[in-house]
């Protein structure tokens, strides 16, 4: 049954993507409005197909330009996050050359960056800023790589420097601070039961894992549940500097992962006060 399930899901994933690729390419080429929303709808379909139930906690920032900083566990993070709202991702430049998946990334208007070349950081930062200024919502994985799903790695601050640049508010014709919102993504249940430290790495994609064998294994194991939490958005003016910003986002993702795994959520009326305390605790850190 597991083999049959994996075969059906993999075939459905590949065939549906191939069917939609020409439509998305044409939409991007002609600048048609549906090209921004189509990936969101496709990823929602893909989550239902694969059996990924996404629970959202918190609210995405609305009303001004925003960069999302999320922890990174697996290629599954892409459909999980993109199923919640229209967005694009920041990925390492090597992804652009991957067969099939590189094409999918390009069709979702991914920003490709050369993480290993510090001399390109300013260029990558400016490209991310330009996209956000144009109205795109971008998702950055500051860990720079994916983990085994049981922990959050250290967030790198280099690309967080984009928050030092302001955005022109078109409606009010004035400059505004770019907002950064942490987002934690946690894989919590398998077949309705707690996933545990043993099974979570089967859905994580890290190290030297081959992608297609990992796809097959993840599809064969069964439906999963994922918790995505939007944390308090901040600006670099509030937090102090890019290193403090990276530390704040890392802490939010780590605490969000702990809450998702333990099921211990703060009461609604206490949450804002806890968020403010966290901002104050990290303001100026790393100066």
Structure token pair of residue 2: 């597991």
- pLDDT above 90 coverage of the chain, percent: 46
Asked if residue 287 is part of any domain, the answer here is no
Contact 111, 131 (CB under 8 A): yes
CATH of the domain at 170: 3.40.1130
Q: What are phi and psi of 70, to 5 degrees?
A: -125, 150
Nearest alpha-carbon partner for 165 in 155, 180, 143, 154: 180
Which residues span the domain enclosing 182? 2-282
Structure token pair of residue 216: 């097959």
pLDDT at 88 over 60: yes
64-68, 133-137, 181-185: which has the highest mean pLDDT?
181-185
pLDDT at 90 over 80: yes
Structure token pair of residue 235: 């600006």
Report the pLDDT value the prediction gives residue 279, as an integer from 0 to 100.
76
Asked if residue 217 is part of any domain, the answer here is yes
Contact 184, 258 (CB under 8 A): no
Asked if residue 88 is part of any domain, the answer here is yes
- pLDDT above 70 coverage of the chain, percent: 88
Mean pLDDT across 86-106: 91
What is Dmax (Cα atoms) for the chain? 59
Contact 282, 242 (CB under 8 A): no
Whole-model pTM: value is 0.88
Nearest alpha-carbon partner for 161 in 94, 110, 113: 113
Asked if residue 186 is part of any domain, the answer here is yes
Report the pLDDT value the prediction gives residue 137, as an integer from 0 to 100.
92
Higher-scoring residue by pLDDT: 222, 157? 157
Structure token pair of residue 203: 């859905």
Mean pLDDT across 10-31: 94
Distance of CA 90 to the CA centre of its chain: 9
Asked if residue 273 is part of any domain, the answer here is yes
Higher-scoring residue by pLDDT: 87, 194? 87
Q: What is the domain count for the chain? A: 1
pLDDT tens-digit readout, 110-141: 999 987 666 677 888 889 999 998 888 999 99
Asked if residue 72 is part of any domain, the answer here is yes
Contact 14, 187 (CB under 8 A): no
């Amino acid at each position: 049954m597991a083999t049959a399930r994996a075969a059906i899901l993999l075939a459905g994933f590949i065939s549906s993507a191939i069917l939609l690729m020409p439509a998305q390419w044409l939409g991007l080429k002609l600048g048609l409005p549906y090209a921004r929303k189509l990936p969101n709808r496709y990823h929602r379909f893909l989550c239902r197909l694969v059996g990924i139930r996404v629970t959202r906690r918190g609210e995405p920032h609305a009303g001004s330009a925003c960069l999302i900083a999320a922890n990174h566990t697996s290629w599954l993070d892409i459909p999980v996050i993109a199923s919640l709202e229209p967005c694009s991702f920041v990925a390492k430049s090597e992804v652009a050359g991957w067969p099939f998946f590189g094409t999918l990334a390009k069709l979702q208007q991914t920003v490709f960056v050369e993480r290993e070349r510090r001399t390109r950081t300013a260029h990558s930062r400016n490209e991310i800023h330009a996209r956000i200024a144009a109205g795109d919502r971008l998702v950055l994985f500051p860990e720079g790589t994916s983990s085994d799903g049981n922990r959050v790695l250290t967030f790198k601050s280099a690309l967080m420097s984009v928050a030092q640049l302001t955005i022109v508010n078109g409606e009010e014709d004035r400059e505004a601070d770019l907002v950064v919102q942490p987002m934690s993504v946690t894989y919590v249940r398998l077949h309705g039961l707690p996933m545990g430290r043993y099974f979570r790495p089967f859905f994580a994609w890290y190290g030297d894992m081959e992608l297609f064998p990992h796809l097959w294994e993840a599809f064969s194991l069964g439906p999963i549940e994922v918790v995505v939490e939007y944390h308090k958005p901040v600006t670099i003016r509030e937090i102090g500097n890019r290193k403090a910003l990276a530390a704040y986002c890392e802490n939010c993702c780590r605490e969000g992962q702990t809450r998702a795994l333990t099921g211990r959520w703060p009461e609604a009326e206490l949450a804002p006060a806890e968020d403010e305390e966290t901002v104050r605790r990290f303001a100026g850190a790393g100066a």
